[in-house]
Amino acid sequence: MAHRKPKVVVTRKLPDAVETRMRELFDTELNLDDTPMTANALGAAMSRAEVLACTITDRVDGSVIDQAGETLKLIANFGVGVDHIDVAAAHKRGIIVTNTPGVLTEDTADLTMGLILASARRVVEGANIVQAGEFHGWSPTWMLGRRLWGKRLGIVGMGRIGQSLAKRARAFGLAIHYHNRRPVGARIAEELEATYWESLDQMLARMDVVSVNCPHTPATYHLLSARRLKLLQPHALLVNTARGEIIDEAALAGMLQRGELAGAGLDVYEHEPAVNPKLLKLPNVVLLPHMSSATIEGRIDMGEKVIINIRTWMDGHKPPDRIIPSML
Ligand code: DGY
């Protein structure tokens, strides 16, 4: 028996292969010109869809969820982070929320390692000098960065991405330390030779490099507050590929400007897409435009996860990547 095709509204342009498959399977409304939806447009989409396939650029808050029609049953997020969705409000209305975990782990870990290397070894600064025609020859004391081999990396959040980063970092000779709600299992800790710090404060004070890899939830908002940032050693580097809201960005910019911290590598910002203007002027930061999961393979895999979640729901089963409020 042929399935009735549910009405799926997709809020942003997705890879062609994903859009083609979605059109085959569902009554799909695409956003071909990729203009981000306003709150009104999002509300209207919620009122006509059975499934909203949204992304991080959509603020699906309580007021948007209030506009959902009776038919809206699933919010299938294209992305792993769901901090832009009021999951509790959706849950209360009986709307399922899903995400796309697992498929962007390795890409994000790669780029995090890239930011660590780029910050420690001044890669972007050096490249900019050459491109500006200002490379006038080698010097024994010019463009000196910091050696990574033998240093300590503190990972804040040892989930999938944190663990994948740890594997890469070990190959670069970094000793692995981490702070997490709970210690990882004994086998993983042994494999990574990872040291668990129950106290984030104590870990921060002893690391050479700190990488933020936890999700943004009410409990992790400004986890790296002005007070905690001050615990970092002046030679330390801070890298963030998770969410901007986890770090007090204004406090960080001030410290970098005053030379109280050696450098930072950031892919995410507290008020994205705005970036603190102080950061833009600093030579000791590497700033990327939220691209750590941006590989064509990763984005297609994310699309496939969205499709699997919708199809499973359509078949009357529980979608595999359901988010329930108590998980956050
Ligand atoms: C994610 O999947 O959460 C990435 O940051 C893109 O939203």
Mind listing the pLDDT tens digit for each residue in 81-132?
A: 999 999 999 999 999 999 999 999 999 999 999 999 999 999 999 999 999 9
Sign of the Cα torsion 164, 167, 171, 177 reads positive
Q: Residue written as tokens 């996860």?
A: 305
Give me the catalytic one of 12, 59, 170, 290. 290
CA distances (Å), 270 to each of 247, 248, 294, in order? 7, 8, 19
Pure H helices in 154-220: 160-171, 186-192, 200-204
CA distances (Å), 323 to each of 161, 162, 199, in order? 18, 20, 28
- Closest residue by Cα to atom 4, ligand 1, is 79
- pLDDT for 157: 98
Give me the catalytic one of 243, 245, 249, 270. 243
* Contact residues of ligand 1, CB 6 A cut-off: 56, 79-81, 104, 293
Any residues with CB less than 8 A from the CB of 302 and at least 6 apart, and which?
78, 79, 100, 103, 104, 293
Where do you find CATH 3.40.50.720 in the chain? 7-103+295-327, 105-287
Q: Which pair of tokens denotes residue 239?
A: 């890298």
Told to judge if 21 belongs to the known catalytic residues of this protein, a careful annotator would answer no
Ligand 1 nearest atom to the CA of residue 99, by list position: 2
Q: How far is CA 243 from the centre of its chain?
A: 5
Told to judge if 136 belongs to the known catalytic residues of this protein, a careful annotator would answer no
Give me the catalytic one of 29, 125, 191, 272. 272
If one residue of 293, 299, 300, 323 were mutated to test the ligand 1 pocket, choosing by the most ligand atoms within 8 A of its CB, it would be 293
The parts of the chain modelled with pLDDT lower than 50 are 1
- pLDDT for 272: 96
CATH of 7-103+295-327, one of 3.30.1330.10, 3.40.50.740, 3.40.50.720, 2.60.120.340: 3.40.50.720
Ligand 1 nearest atom to the CA of residue 80, by list position: 2
pTM, entire model? 0.96
Strand 74-76: give its sheet, edge to edge.
Answer: 27-29, 7-10, 51-53, 74-76, 96-98
Distance (angstroms) between ligand 1 centre and the Cα of 292 equals 8
Q: What is the dihedral of CA 116, 121, 127, 129, to 10 degrees?
A: 140
Told to judge if 272 belongs to the known catalytic residues of this protein, a careful annotator would answer yes
Q: Give the separation between CA 116 and CA 111, rounded to whole angstroms.
A: 9
- pLDDT for 326: 84
- Closest residue by Cα to atom 6, ligand 1, is 79
- pLDDT for 328: 79
- Closest residue by Cα to atom 2, ligand 1, is 79
- pLDDT for 1: 47
For the domain bounded by 105-287, which CATH number is listed?
3.40.50.720
Three-class DSSP category at 51: strand
- pLDDT for 192: 98
- pLDDT for 327: 79
